Amino acid sequence: MNATQRLHDLGQSLWLDNITRDMLDDGTLERYVREFSVTGLTSNPTIFEHALGKSRAYDAAIREGVAAGLEGEELFFSLALDDLCRAADLFLPVHRRTSGVDGFVSLEVSPLLAYDTGATTRAAEQLFARAGRPNLHIKIPGTAEGLPAIEEATFAGVPVNVTLLFSREQYLAAADAWLCGVERRIAAGLDPDVRSVASLFISRWDVAVAERVPSELKNRLGIAIGRRTYAAARELHASPRWQRAMNAGARPQRVLWASTGTKDPEASDVLYVEAFASPYTVDTVPEKTLLAFADHGTVGDPLPIDGGDAEDVLLRFAEAGIDVDALAEQLQREGAQAFVKSWNALLASLAEKASASGVRS
Mean pLDDT for all residues in the chain = 95
Verify whether residue 139 is a known catalytic residue.
yes
Q: Per the residue annotation, which of 54, 139, 218, 288 is the catalytic one? A: 139
Q: Which pTM was predicted? A: 0.96
Q: What is the DSSP letter of 94?
A: H
pLDDT in tens, 2-25: 899 999 999 999 999 999 999 999
CB neighbour list of residue 214: distance below 8 Å, 6 or more residues apart: 320
**255: enclosing H helix or E strand:** strand 254-258
Give CA–CA dist 269/297, Å, rounded: 9
Query: How confident is the model over 245-268, as pLDDT tens digits?
Result: 999 999 999 999 999 999 999 999
CB 58 within 8 A of CB 353: yes
CA distance 43 to 81: 11
User: How far apart are alpha carbons 11 and 332 in whole angstroms?
Assistant: 29
Coil, strand or helix: which one is 275? Answer: helix
Helices of type H across the chain: 3-10, 21-25, 28-36, 45-53, 59-67, 72-97, 117-131, 146-155, 168-187, 203-209, 221-237, 240-247, 271-275, 287-296, 310-319, 324-356
pLDDT (0 to 100) of residue 359: 60
CATH topology of domain 3-356: TIM Barrel (3.20.20)
Q: Name the amino acid, one letter, at 257.
A: W
Beta strands at 196-201 and 160-165: parallel, antiparallel or unpaired: parallel
**In this model, does residue 67 exceed pLDDT 60?**
yes
Q: What is the mean predicted confidence (pLDDT) over 214-225?
A: 97
* Tens digits of residue pLDDT in 254-305: 999 999 999 999 999 999 999 999 999 999 999 999 999 999 999 999 999 9
pLDDT band at 325 (very low <50, low <70, confident <90, very high): very high
Let me know the angle formed at the C-alpha of 27 by 21 and 30, rounded to the nearest 5 degrees.
105
Over range 297-314, report the average pLDDT. 96
Domains of the chain, residue spans? 3-356
User: What is the rounded distance in angstroms from the CA atom of residue 196 to the CA atom of residue 187?
Assistant: 19
Contact 91, 135 (CB under 8 A): yes
